[in-house]
Amino acid sequence: MYRLKSRRVPLGGWLILAAFILLLCILEQASNTNLLSNGITSQGVILSEGTDFCGRPSSSQLATGGAESFSVQFSDQSGHEHTGIISQCKYSGFNATTGESVTIVYDPNDPTTFAPLNSLKAGAPLVPIFIILSGLITLVLLFFWIRKRRMRKASLHY
């Protein structure tokens, strides 16, 4: 009988993965910080509720259930109406009902970029923790990777 050999992921692979996670955390923090510091708050109204399969096709067997999404309409500073979607895929703690008023924060340069204010504030303390943890893991992996490379070089010289 044919058996697949189990292969271990090399240290460099783990290092790349940790660095990628660190980069994603930093980008998420920058996005949220920019919206919180430069964004403008507005009152929006929930127009309708729907289902979001978080990037999976709705016909997929994995897409059972899905997360809720909410169509929200708000006005910017100049009075222009904007409509967009708030999904629980990105803002898991957000919940509302049709007709409910919600406070949102939008980018004045691009009103299509917006988020629910409470969800931004709730997630704000968590992202720095993930940045610190992923940064520490990346540094430890980098230390072991450099050590392994030096040991390999030293063994080749003898």
- The DSSP secondary structure of the chain, one letter per residue, reads ---PPP-PPPHHHHHHHHHHHHHHHHHHHHHHHHHHHH-EEEEEEEEEEEEE-TTS-TTSGGGSS-EEEEEEEEE-TT--EEEEEEETTT-TT----TT-EEEEEEETTEEEEEEEHHHHHHHTTHHHHHHHHHHHHHHHHHHHHHHHHHHHHHHHH-
For the chain, which residues make up each domain, given as ranges? 14-56+64-157
The reported pLDDT for the residue numbered 102 is 95
Q: In the Cβ-directed half-sphere of 38, how many Cα atoms lie within 13 Å?
A: 12
98-153: per-residue pLDDT in tens? Answer: 999 999 999 999 999 899 988 877 766 777 888 899 999 999 999 999 999 888 88
29-71: per-residue pLDDT in tens? Answer: 887 777 888 899 999 999 999 888 787 766 554 546 678 899 9
Angle in degrees, CA 33, 110, 74, rounded to 5: 95
The pTM of the whole model exceeds 0.75: no
Hey, how many other C-beta atoms are within 10 angstroms of the C-beta on 13? 11
CA 57 – CA 36 distance, rounded (Å): 32
**68 phi and psi angles, rounded to 5 deg:** -80, 150
Spatial CB neighbours of 3, under 8 Å, sequence gap ≥ 6? none
CA 63 – CA 56 distance, rounded (Å): 6
CA 73 – CA 44 distance, rounded (Å): 5
